[in-house]
Structure 1
Amino acid sequence: MAESPTVDPESPYYIDPDYESNENLPMAILSKSEDNYFIWKSDFLLFLRSKNKTGFVDGTIQQPEPTSPLYHPWKTCNARVMCWMRSSLSEKLLIYVTFAETAHKAWVYLRILFVPSVDFKIYELRVRLAMLRQGGDGDDESVGSYFGKFMRAWAELSEYDPVPECKCGGCHCEGVKRGKEAREKEQRYGFLMGLKKELSFVRTRIMLMDPPPSLHEALVLVEQAESVMKSTRI
């Protein structure tokens, strides 16, 4: 006799006997005022992967028919995912998911609320990246801190505007490779453009390197230059 999926830890229908509805979730609380949907989404999906429950929000695990032996396990797992989701929302956002019948619908409602238009979101992120500057808030921001903000914006942009994947199957055009190289080149230019004026000398040196360094190699070079600058001020 086959083992029930509710007791198989590898199954998305696994029902953990140690489940607690008020489990402390290792993630950010989604808030409209903080505009942290991308961070929350990444954290929540990571948490669901650890529970093997991502299918309940991305729609790949659909509700079985009431006559199916998986119907009641699905209801239990869906309810648990809904509880986790509600526990990770600010109080003002609860109304948007309270009446959702499934975790997938609640997930879609939140996506529409925070990203009503993918094209407009891409536009907003492109504008943010174009205006991002080291110390843009008037403080003496480190290169590391600036790079963190820069890569967060790029990670979000890549979510909505990824490098196109080759769909012809088994081709040798290296289109995907070239697309990724072009994306990294764009990132390297953007990172260097946003550096403060005191680091313009290292920006010029990096731009003249042949072959050009990777984005992270450029970061190391800039951080080394920053360290030297700070040591000469002492």
Structure 2
Amino acid sequence: MSLKSHRKFGFCDGSIPHPKPTDKFMLEQWEVVHCTIVQWLRNTIDPSVLESVPYVEDVAILWKDLEERFAVVDGTSIHSLKTELAECKQLKGMSVTSYYGKIKSLWDALAIYEPPFACKCGRCTCDIASQAVKRLDNERLHQFFMGLDSTLYGNLRNQQFQLDPLPTLNRGYHAALQAERLLLGSASA
């Protein structure tokens, strides 16, 4: 993401080509950025993995090697993440914020493997993309409340699911935070 936000990902995918040797200034600028990206990538790779990464000076070759090894989508990874999601619970003494962070990281990891459906033709008038996003938000709202401590948040869960339409995940999270503050306030009084 950092490479994209700085408009440098093109070095990795090859869309920022090597300048012609006749343009010495551009060539020098390109090489400085290129070497910086190679070094940055190598510095961010886990040391145990770095041992198996060949030293190459071409960032596109390095990126392709890493992508071929680590960006593999397989059913086992997806199943593992979905199992973790199904078993994700707010542990005793865990704050709502910590629990949400834990489940959100699982959702984010799963979204890499299973991005939301979207219209690819550009001519759809049925608004399927927003319907898919709403369904995903509802599913996550249910998962979030299923994992919350039911003795502390059971009543809140029941209240939230009686609303029509269902609240968004962010609204549900906010309601849980408010309930936690009330519980902590009454515990200290």
Using the size of structure 2 for normalisation, the TM-score is 0.84
Q: Does 1:197 align with 2:142?
A: no
Correspondence for 1:78 = 34
1:160 to 91, 113, 136: 113
Bigger RCO of structures 1 and 2 (CA < 8 A, at least 6 apart) = 2
How much has 1:126 moved relative to structure 2? 1.4
How much has 1:67 moved relative to structure 2? 5.7
Q: Is the 8 A contact 2:38 2:58 kept in 1?
A: yes
Q: Gaps (5+ residues) in structure 2?
A: none
Correspondence for 1:174 = 127
* Identical columns (%): 28
Q: Which amino acid aligns with 1:209?
A: L
Q: Is the 8 A contact 2:118 2:129 kept in 1?
A: yes
Matches of 1:95 and 1:148 in 2, distance apart?
32
CA-to-aligned-CA distance 1:8-45 (integer Å, 9 cap, x gap): xxxxxxxxxxxxxxxxxxxxxxxxxxxxxxxxxxxxx3
Q: What aligned pairs does 1:14-163 form with structure 2 within 5 A after superposition?
A: 45-46=1-2, 48-49=3-4, 51-63=6-18, 69=23, 73-135=29-91, 139-163=92-116
Matches of 2:28 and 2:110 in 1, distance apart?
39
How much has 1:133 moved relative to structure 2? 0.7
How much has 1:74 moved relative to structure 2? 4.1
CA-to-aligned-CA distance 1:40-94 (integer Å, 9 cap, x gap): xxxxx32x24543111123433456x66746665444322210111122233222
Q: Matched residue of 2:116: which SS?
A: coil
Matches of 1:109 and 1:124 in 2, distance apart?
25
Alignment coverage as a number of residue pairs? 185
Q: Is the 8 A contact 1:134 1:195 kept in 2?
A: yes
Using the size of structure 1 for normalisation, the TM-score is 0.70
Matches of 1:231 and 1:152 in 2, distance apart?
29
Q: Gaps (5+ residues) in structure 1?
A: 1-44
Q: Kindly tell me: are residues 219 and 182 of structure 1, through their superposed partners in 2, closer, same or farther at Cα, counting changes over 3 Å? A: same
Q: Is the 8 A contact 2:38 2:59 kept in 1?
A: yes
Q: Matched residue of 1:147: which SS?
A: helix
Q: Kindly tell me: are residues 189 and 97 of structure 1, through their superposed partners in 2, closer, same or farther at Cα, counting changes over 3 Å? A: same
Q: Is the 8 A contact 1:165 1:176 kept in 2?
A: yes
